[in-house]
Amino acid sequence: MAYCLPADLYLYGLPRGALASSGRLVDSANVADSTIALDAHGFATGDAVQVRPAAGGELPAPLTAATTYYAIAVDDWRFQLAATPGGSAITLTSAGSTFVVLAPLSIDAAIAKASRMIDDMLPAHVVPLADPVPDVVRMTAAELAAAWLLAQTGGESSTLTSVYDAARRRVERWSRGAELRGPNAPPSAQLSTGGGATRARAAVSPWRRYGGIA
């Protein structure tokens, strides 16, 4: 389960435009074998790839800009493109000139990664969390996902370690008052993680005392 939405990354402080994918310039493609030459391209077969013309350049036909293709690694310096994951290579009919190859960032993958990190921070008898996801968890997942994405583009303002450590402190503090759930919870659903004290389901949200989040 994802603990936040893509829009939450921007809601909790990620500047618009901060996640621009960096691209690498290619002179032209090879029509003879429909490959694109790019030293140490780093693509594995199945990786999502996009292309766009640079100033004054043009894309190899039939490739189009703003379309997601999927890499087929030939070797460390050549790859082909497929229209679908696991599909056959697209036959290039022109070499094009001066175009950019880039790997789009996956916000969904970053959110999934951040959500699993939060699961690891929580006691086993608290997870899995269910809808509605508490605001403090949603905010923390968004911050973790944003930090991971910024690290991929070299635009992070703080280290991933510091963001992770702050997230762990916040989530662990919140979990002390969270209702027990999951297969490791005792029979009574009224117990909380805070020393086994009884806690009614309708009680005030346990994270309200940590910053006033309702």
pTM: 0.61
Q: What are phi and psi of 84, to 5 degrees?
A: -135, 155
Tell me whether residue 200 is in a domain. Answer: yes
Confidence of residue 167 (pLDDT cuts 50, 70, 90): very high
Mean pLDDT of 181-189: 53
Residue 201's pLDDT is 35
Domain boundary among 95, 120, 151: 95
Token output for 204: 């005030």
- Does one domain contain both 139 and 201? yes
- 69-105 in b/e form (b: 16+ CB < 10 A) is bbbbebeeebbbbbeeeeeebbebeebbbebbbebeb
| C-alpha–C-alpha distance, residues 121 and 154, integer Å | 26
Q: Is the pLDDT of residue 32 over 70?
A: yes
End-to-end alpha carbon distance in the chain: 22
d(CA 179, CA 199): 8
Give the side-chain half-sphere CA count within 13 A for 76: 2
pLDDT in tens, 118-133: 999 988 877 878 889 9
Q: Which domain holds residue 38?
A: 29-95
DSSP characters over 146-162: HHHHHHHHT--SS-HHH
Q: How confident is the model at residue 212 (pLDDT cuts 50, 70, 90)?
A: very low
pLDDT class of 196 with cuts at 50, 70, 90: very low
Indicate whether 169 and 202 sit together in one domain.
Answer: yes
Average pLDDT, the chain: 81
22 domain residue, yes or no: no
159 phi/psi in degrees, rounded to 5: -75, 155
Return the closest-CA partner of residue 31 out of 53, 55, 63.
Answer: 63
pLDDT tens readout for residues 72-108: 999 999 999 999 999 999 999 999 999 999 887 788 8
Structural domains of the chain, count: 2
Q: Look at residue 213 in the predicted model and tell me its pLDDT.
A: 39
Do residues 114 and 159 both lie within one domain? Answer: yes
Domain assignment of residue 24, yes or no: no
Same domain, 119 and 165: yes
**pLDDT score, position 4:** 94
Confidence check: pLDDT of 157 > 60: no
CA 149 to chain centre: 6
- Burial class of residue 25, CB neighbours in 10 A (0-12, 13-18, 19+): exposed
Looking at the structure, do residues 91 and 119 belong to the same domain, yes or no?
no
